[in-house]
Structure 1
């Protein structure tokens, strides 16, 4: 997690799969969770259950960003085996249950690539930012983008609460 000096961050809790923090920007507060979802699809319900418990404690608007190791639809994968429909549905149901909205990136799409050539190339959108509806309503100028990293199989995802704000 990287941020500018103009914000005040207070870490609340952390583990090997998350970092919870409250971010203060001026008079506004927003809960931000950095997240790493289980790689094994059979363990992902544990990841969703964990985030559900965090969501029950959050009193502020909430943003979650990181590697969810999950996809919402077939457009989030190119190459390789098809996505198991039950895994897509489980992730969608989790987002719906907590009323979390996926922030589509302005630039870039796939965040993971296996760095192979030809028919063996696989690209997936595993990393993302999601936020609560109240956060979307309060921060109407949010944006997300994917920055390609050649030396890694995962790209960087950036999130900006004010990027789309019109210039005065």
Structure 2
């Protein structure tokens, strides 16, 4: 399943191994919501997510997560680029993020009872690909359960 990008932003792809059965539930330009069935009979909801890069439009992303969560009665995983950080330790270089944007991200995770799964292979998932003092790295991609 693929949702095309708009210019240089967005775009989603959901690819799984052949032995995994995936049933699409719904999709739009910023998410793909699916039901995943494993060979051992385990079933869970997986939402591939792309958060709005424009801070003025992030309410749309939060509202979409609320709609998906309202449909989920069992386990759920949400993974993708959230274009948000929880605190300034998830950013290296550049200006600090406003506390309000980090609080909004934390609040939606708390409201939806989503838990951040910490990575063990490196912390930062995005870089601006510059060098020296202009280099910025952030942890924008994550999995939530």
Does the alignment reach a TM-score above 0.5? yes
Shift of 1:6: 2.0
CA distance in 2, matches of 1:42, 1:80: 20
Matches within 5 A, 1:5-16: 5-16=18-29
Matches within 5 A, 1:133-144: none
Shift of 1:124: 0.5
TM score, norm. by length of structure 2: 0.88
CA distance in 1, matches of 2:120, 2:23: 28
Structure 2: unaligned runs, 5 residues or longer: 1-13
CA distance in 2, matches of 1:14, 1:98: 19
Residues matched between the structures, number: 131
Q: What residue number does 1:39 align with?
A: 53
Q: What SS does structure 1 have at the residue aligned with 2:15?
A: coil
Matches within 5 A, 1:83-98: 83-98=97-112
CA distance in 1, matches of 2:19, 2:74: 19
Q: What SS does structure 1 have at the residue aligned with 2:45?
A: strand
CA distance in 2, matches of 1:60, 1:107: 28
Q: What SS does structure 2 have at the residue aligned with 1:59?
A: coil
Q: What SS does structure 2 have at the residue aligned with 1:46?
A: helix
What RMSD, in angstroms, separates the aligned Cα atoms of the two structures? 0.8
Q: Does 1:120 align with 2:134?
A: yes
Q: Does 1:62 align with 2:79?
A: no
Q: Deviations over 1:100-120 (max 9, x none)?
A: 000111111111100001110
CA distance in 2, matches of 1:77, 1:2: 29
